[in-house]
């Protein structure tokens, strides 16, 4: 990194965990890039994807909202979801705008750039691919479940996930962003349906292995039924390495305080439990472990504390190798 130049921080992910990280990072003195999954097939996103043959807009919409400095009312409009019972049933206004802008510009990525400009987004937002794609999971009993929203419902142990149609083409800008990064952050989120769909795309996996940046994984705090039941922190990393190789994750951020009993009870109803971080195994895997109290105490649903995590990640930038 040149003196006087802002460090390049790249965040990869999707789902609910990624916007939480981005909201804290966007106000730091960094050049921020978000690489976002487009394999979602549920709800409004799935309908638009299928009807218009565009990549899934839902996770992109939430990232735009997280990085936007627009007026609150404009953001509320962007995130508005129409009530069930009419022709716009269940659609999000932001998804419709992304679909419309893709139609106007003829390109999904160009559409994102235009809406980002209108909503005064800080940082760059890249879909991991400009292609519409489907996610499939091979289960440990040999069966295959297709569709991001169906995979957690199968109630089976996931062996690996893959994308179709092949070959999936990454967005060249996304590959370049990883290569030029000073820190790469793999966001928390649904391991097999939000995180891995980004990492398994050809050239993305290679770029993660070759980048000089420290690649840090912000580990989930709770397990997720149908995806990571019984998984420890090392199991999460092993799943990532099993898909894209051993050289892709250098560091892991884990929450090191007990989860409040009342919160655990709420999650237990969803068959979710705190992720145990198995220090010995993580160290045996050659990982740097960064442990801290990184949960937002003001919420009954567990969320990473956006400011705490941002500060912690920012402190890691100077430690990036090279």
Residues 217/240, Cβ–Cβ less than 8 Å: yes
No. of H helices and E strands in the chain? Answer: 13, 10
Q: Which residues pair with 81 in a beta bridge?
A: 92
At 11-24, the pLDDT tens digits run 999 888 899 999 99
Domains in the chain, please, with CATH? 1-37+163-322 (3.40.50.10680), 40-127 (no CATH)
Answer with the residue of higher pLDDT: 79 or 156.
Answer: 156
Q: What is the pLDDT of residue 78?
A: 81
The token pair at 124 is: 């760059």
pLDDT, greater one: 134 or 4 = 134
Q: What is the DSSP letter of 295?
A: B
Q: What is the pLDDT of residue 319?
A: 47
- Give the pLDDT of residue 322: 41
- Which position has the higher pLDDT, 32 or 302? 32
Element containing residue 36 per DSSP (H, E): strand 31-36
Q: Given pLDDT bands bounded at 50, 70 and 90, which one contains residue 215?
A: very high
**How many angstroms separate the Cα of 78 from the Cα of each of 53, 168, 293, 321?**
22, 29, 33, 40
Residue 151 to residue 14: CA distance in whole angstroms: 16
Reply yes or no on whether the pLDDT at 320 is more than 50: no
Find, among 118, 121, 134, the residue nearest to 55 by Cα. 134
Which of 282, 304, 251 is CA-nearest to residue 25?
Answer: 304
Lowest mean pLDDT among 8-22, 26-40, 213-227, 296-310: 296-310
- pLDDT score, position 38: 85
The mean pLDDT of 41-52, rounded to a whole number, is 58
Contacts of 203 (CB under 8 A, 6+ apart): 170, 175
Highest mean pLDDT, choosing among 4-13, 46-55, 311-320: 4-13
The reported pLDDT for the residue numbered 255 is 87
The answer to whether the beta carbons of residues 214 and 183 sit under 8 Å apart is yes
pLDDT for 301 beyond 90: no
Burial of 16: CB neighbours in 10 Å, binned 0-12, 13-18, 19+: middle
Q: Across all residues in the chain, what is the average pLDDT?
A: 87
pLDDT grade, residue 138 (50/70/90)?
Answer: very high
Q: Is the pLDDT of residue 2 over 70?
A: no
The predicted model gives 88-117 an average pLDDT of 87
Return the higher-pLDDT residue of 144 and 39.
144
pLDDT for the residue numbered 224: 92
Residue 43: pLDDT over 60: no
pTM: 0.91
What confidence category does residue 52 fall into, taking pLDDT thresholds of 50, 70 and 90? Answer: low
pLDDT exceeds cutoff 90 at 282: yes
Confidence (pLDDT) at 75: 84
DSSP string for residues in 93-113: HHHHHHHHHHHHHS-HHHHHH
Asked if residue 149 lies in contact with residue 41, where contact means CB atoms within 8 angstroms, the answer is yes
């Amino acid at each position: 990194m040149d003196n006087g130049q802002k460090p390049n921080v790249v965040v990869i992910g999707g789902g609910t965990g990624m916007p939480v990280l981005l909201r804290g990072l966007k106000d730091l003195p960094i050049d921020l890039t978000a690489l976002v999954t487009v394999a979602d097939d549920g709800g409004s996103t799935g309908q638009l994807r299928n009807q218009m043959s565009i990549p899934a807009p839902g996770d992109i919409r939430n990232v735009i909202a997280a990085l936007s400095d627009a007026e609150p009312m404009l953001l509320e409009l962007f995130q508005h979801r129409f009530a069930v019972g009419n022709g716009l049933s269940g659609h999000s206004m932001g998804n419709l705008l992304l679909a419309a802008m893709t139609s106007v510009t003829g390109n999904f990525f160009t559409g994102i750039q235009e809406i980002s400009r209108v909503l005064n987004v800080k940082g760059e937002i890249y879909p991991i691919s400009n292609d519409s794609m489907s996610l499939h999971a091979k289960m440990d009993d040999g069966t295959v479940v297709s569709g991001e929203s169906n995979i957690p419902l199968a109630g089976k142990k996931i062996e690996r996930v893959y994308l179709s149609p092949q070959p999936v083409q990454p967005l060249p800008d996304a590959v370049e962003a990883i290569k030029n990064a000073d820190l790469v952050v793999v966001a928390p989120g649904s391991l097999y349906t939000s995180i891995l769909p980004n990492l398994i795309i050809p050239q993305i996996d290679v770029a993660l292995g070759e980048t000089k940046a420290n690649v840090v994984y912000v580990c989930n705090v709770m397990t997720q039924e149908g995806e990571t039941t019984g998984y420890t922190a090392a199991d999460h990393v092993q799943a990532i390495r099993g898909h894209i190789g051993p050289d892709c994750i250098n560091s892991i951020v884990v929450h090191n305080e007990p989860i409040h009993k009342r919160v655990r009870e709420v999650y237990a109803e969803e068959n979710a439990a705190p992720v145990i971080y198995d220090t010995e195994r993580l160290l045996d895997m050659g990982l740097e472990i960064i442990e801290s109290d990184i949960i937002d105490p003001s919420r009954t649903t567990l969320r990473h504390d956006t400011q705490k995590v941002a500060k912690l990640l920012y402190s890691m930038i100077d430690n990036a190798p090279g």
